Amino acid sequence: MDNNSLKDILAKIDSINNPIEEKKDNSLKGFDSRTMRALASIKAQYPNAPDDLAALLRHVTNVDKDSDTADDEHIGKIKELEDRVETLEKKLTLLLRKK
């Protein structure tokens, strides 16, 4: 066995026993400039987020909550309009009966 192959074997054993932790890039990459601007804007809104994915999840959660609030408001307005139409239909029916 020559000296170089022994060094190679020892290097492999060392790399197995002590793996070098590669720095993982947790940032998301955009596909175009519009996406990158949107991502930069979201990261600016959530500066305490540990990474891009956490910032996106917080943004989605807040947008979903805002959407639910808007939906509740619209449902209330629609219900009010339906009640008013029902009242008008009753009045119209009474007027038509009198004729």
Instruction: Flag whether 18 is in a domain.
Output: no
Q: Which of 48, 43, 71 is nearest to 59 (CA)?
A: 43
Which pLDDT tens digit goes with each residue over 34-58? 888 888 899 899 999 898 888 989 9
Look up the pTM and report it: 0.49
With H, G, I as helix, E, B as strand and everything else as coil, classify residue 56: helix
Instruction: Flag whether 44 is in a domain.
Output: no
Instruction: Flag whether 35 is in a domain.
Output: no
| pLDDT (0 to 100) of residue 25 | 57
Domain holding 73, by residue range, is: 52-99
Instruction: Flag whether 23 is in a domain.
Output: no
* Range with the poorest average pLDDT among 11-15, 27-31, 40-44: 27-31
CA distances from 82 to 72, 79, 89, 91 (A): 15, 5, 10, 14
Q: Would you place residue 13 in the very low, low, confident or very high pLDDT band (cuts 50, 70, 90)?
A: confident
**Number of domains comprising the chain:** 1
| pLDDT (0 to 100) of residue 9 | 77
Dihedral sign for Cα 26, 31, 37, 42, please: negative
Which pLDDT tens digit goes with each residue over 59-90? 999 999 989 899 999 999 999 999 999 999 99
Instruction: Report residue 49: phi and psi, to 5°.
Output: -65, 135
With 80 as the cut, is the pLDDT of residue 16 above it?
Answer: no
How many C-beta atoms surround the C-beta of residue 54 within 10 A? 14
